[in-house]
Structure 1
Amino acid sequence: MAELSFTGVPSLPQFPDLEIKDVQKERDPHVYLSKEEVKEKIQSYNSSVTDKLKMTLNANGIYTGFIKVQMELCRPITVQSSQSQGSCAPSNQETAFYLPDGCVNTLHISSTNTVREVIEALLKKFFVADNPAKFALYKRCHKEDQVYTCKLSDREHPLYLRLVAGPKTEMLSFVLREHETGEVMWEAFSIPELQNFLRILDKEENDQLQILKNRYAAYRGKLEEALRGVLKPG
């Protein structure tokens, strides 16, 4: 696997409020470019982007460039603690938390890197201990005033898709999500992961319970105050 590097980017442009469709089986026909076509595409691509995000064509025909990936994860991820990062020995020091909405990473990859390699590199960037097989990379694009998302196969090459679509994220952007299986496959999670999920649920339950207690305590106080006003002599 070629080396992938990362650059933090605040956020992607917001898409307009258009109808969004998930297209699992829809696939655009693959168009393979010749070396000369790739060279022309890269020249056209570079004329529309900043110096830091340009693509570079090597003598061997492999080119490198940048893609942006937006993280849209609904479930918490399990992250190795700072003490266990970089250590070869297994560690139980892991923490589960929800990744903030709108988190985006810019990856420097080559035309040979596959979708599966990009997913693995993203998880490595965040020190995520979860199995990469739990995640999928999607492409999001505009077609006829609608926004479509389509899951990419593990063997597709994101940088090639970026080159063909051009640099505009409205035409094509990449999104990391959990696999859409309909139901959560709990057996795919480890015991520490499940225990962390339970702790998160317990905390959310306690927080909601405290909110309800405070709400009804305030309501009770207002009722008692009104009752005292009614029973007050005169």
Structure 2
Amino acid sequence: MTECERFEMTWGSSASSGYCSLSDSENELELFYTARTSLRKTKKRREKDEPVDWRKQDLSVSEIQQKVKEYNAQVNSNLFMVLNRDGSYTGFIKVQFKLARPVSLPPPVCSPTRDRALSQRRTSFYLPRDTVKHLHVSSSTRSRDVIQALLNKFTVIDNPAKFSLFERCERQSQVYLRKLADDECPLFLRLCAGPNEKWDAFSFPELQNFLRILQREEEDHVRQIVRRYAQARDKMKQALKNLSTPG
């Protein structure tokens, strides 16, 4: 496995997950999202201290619903996971950028009088170190979708294939890295790992944004309920009309 730039942060017995680029000649960016949890002690002592592999957890719909309830019960802020009627769920992940090399942006829009060669040049710049982005994602959002969304957000035109998602688990001064497949879902890992106790340490604008997202979700659920009851009411009115109409 190619070497990945390491983070300058440590937790005690915790599990976390991170984005980072492969260490080749075209590395630009390292991304990181937290999924911290204290690992529970088992009665039977393991011969070798190994991280928990959340991929092995095949959860039923009822088990996912129970885990979401347990997750929300541990959250100290308003950043709950929300269950949908179709069995899916939504929640937040925290992404931290760790810049290794400059990223490429589209060329600036030039006036016709300017040199055409200048307009064809890429613009490279460094993102501020440890830039943090909080994303609202669903249980169906895959790792490659998150990477692509982040690159689009910052209008980065580098190939998304340069970036890979790694699960990072630190325990007793040992760090474990596992590369996530493109179709793995970060929010599922976060659900299995549990909430981050420091998630309430957000800035005021970030919290306002979270409230707007939650309000939109609430309004959407209200519209669905109103529509469902309106349809039921119309059916009952039609049934009453049919009964009252002479045959």
1:166 counterpart letter in structure 2 = G
Q: Determine the structure 2 residue equivalent to 1:179.
A: none
Q: Determine the structure 2 residue equivalent to 1:152.
A: 180
When the two chains are superposed, the root-mean-square deviation of aligned CA atoms in Å is: 3.2
SS at match of 2:155: coil
In structure 2, runs of 5+ residues without a counterpart are 1-6, 23-50, 111-118, 199-247
Structure 2 CA distance for aligned equivalents of residues 158 and 110 of structure 1 = 9
Q: Determine the structure 2 residue equivalent to 1:193.
A: none
Q: Which runs of 4+ in 1 moved over 6 A?
A: none
TM-score, normalised via structure 2 length: 0.52
Q: Specify whether residues 60 and 111 from structure 1 end up closer, same or farther in structure 2 by C-alpha distance, changes over 3 A only.
A: same
Q: Specify whether residues 98 and 106 from structure 1 end up closer, same or farther in structure 2 by C-alpha distance, changes over 3 A only.
A: same
Structure 1 CA distance for aligned equivalents of residues 109 and 194 of structure 2 = 41
Quote how far apart the aligned CAs of 1:73 are. 3.1
Quote how far apart the aligned CAs of 1:139 are. 1.9
Q: Determine the structure 2 residue equivalent to 1:100.
A: 128
In structure 1, runs of 5+ residues without a counterpart are 1-11, 85-90, 171-234
Structure 1 CA distance for aligned equivalents of residues 136 and 108 of structure 2 = 25
Structure 1 CA distance for aligned equivalents of residues 187 and 12 of structure 2 = 27
Q: How does 1:184-223 map to 2 (within 5 A)?
A: none
Q: Which stretch of structure 1 is more off in the superposition, 142-151 or 59-68?
A: 142-151
Of the three residues 48, 51, 62, the one matched with 2:74 is 48
Structure 2 CA distance for aligned equivalents of residues 50 and 13 of structure 1 = 26
Structure 2 CA distance for aligned equivalents of residues 80 and 17 of structure 1 = 41
Q: Would you say how many aligned residue pairs link Structure 1 and Structure 2? A: 148
Structure 2 CA distance for aligned equivalents of residues 75 and 53 of structure 1 = 33
Q: Determine the structure 2 residue equivalent to 1:143.
A: 171
Alignment check: 8 A CA contact 2:93 2:187 kept: yes
Structure 1 CA distance for aligned equivalents of residues 188 and 70 of structure 2 = 14
Structure 2 CA distance for aligned equivalents of residues 14 and 53 of structure 1 = 23
Q: How does 1:8-23 map to 2 (within 5 A)?
A: 14-15=9-10
Structure 2 CA distance for aligned equivalents of residues 108 and 13 of structure 1 = 25
